[in-house]
Amino acid sequence: MHFQIWDDGDESVGIHGNFAELDIDVGFLDGEDRQEYIESIKETLGAAFSSIWDNGRVRVATEEELMAIDPVMPEANNDQMFLERMARYTRSMNGVPVDRVSIHSDDLLRLINMVTSQHVLFIAGGKE
């Protein structure tokens, strides 16, 4: 199961938000046991990242929960949501040495495809 962890920071004083994603296997459980395990994971992740970031309220949600909030515009079909997530991730990496920063290959490929498709549209529109 895919978990997203984030805080908003406080941009008014220059504190950027943080963002992390984790995949944790919960497929070996079902029903009530599964839901209790997921809630336990969320509480544990929230406490751990709150201690690590020390930067306000940490939020934890499963990808399923986020899709339930906005089922019409899942990130997979919404470039703006994807770019906002990438921006949160980028801000969270501020000050991290380059050799310690990583991006999932699917996300990198999506960014490359977005940039190249925009470049093609830009050329096609006669603007270059």
Tell me the pairing of strands 18-23 and 59-62: unpaired
- Residue whose pair of structure tokens reads 């509480």 in the numeric block: 43
Question: By CB neighbour count within 10 A (0-12 exposed, 13-18 middle, 19+ buried), where does 88 fall?
Answer: buried
The two tokens of residue 95 are 């000050």
- Residue whose pair of structure tokens reads 């895919």 in the numeric block: 2
Residue 83 or 52, more confident: 52
Residue 122 or 39, more confident: 39
Cα 127 to Cα 40: distance, rounded to the nearest angstrom: 53
| Domain total of the chain | 1
> pLDDT confidence of 45, banded at 50, 70, 90?
very high
Query: What percent of the chain is modeled with pLDDT above 70?
Result: 70
Predicted confidence at residue 7, as pLDDT, reads 84
Contact residues for 98 (Cβ-Cβ < 8 A; gap 6+): none
Range of the domain at 43: 2-124
Q: How many CB atoms neighbour CB 19 within 10 A?
A: 22
Query: Is residue 94 within 8 Å of 35, Cβ to Cβ?
Result: no
Average pLDDT over all residues of the chain: 76
64-121 pLDDT per residue, tens: 887 776 554 445 556 777 777 777 777 666 666 666 666 777 777 777 777 777 654 5
Predicted confidence at residue 18, as pLDDT, reads 81
Distance between start and end Cα atoms, the chain: 44
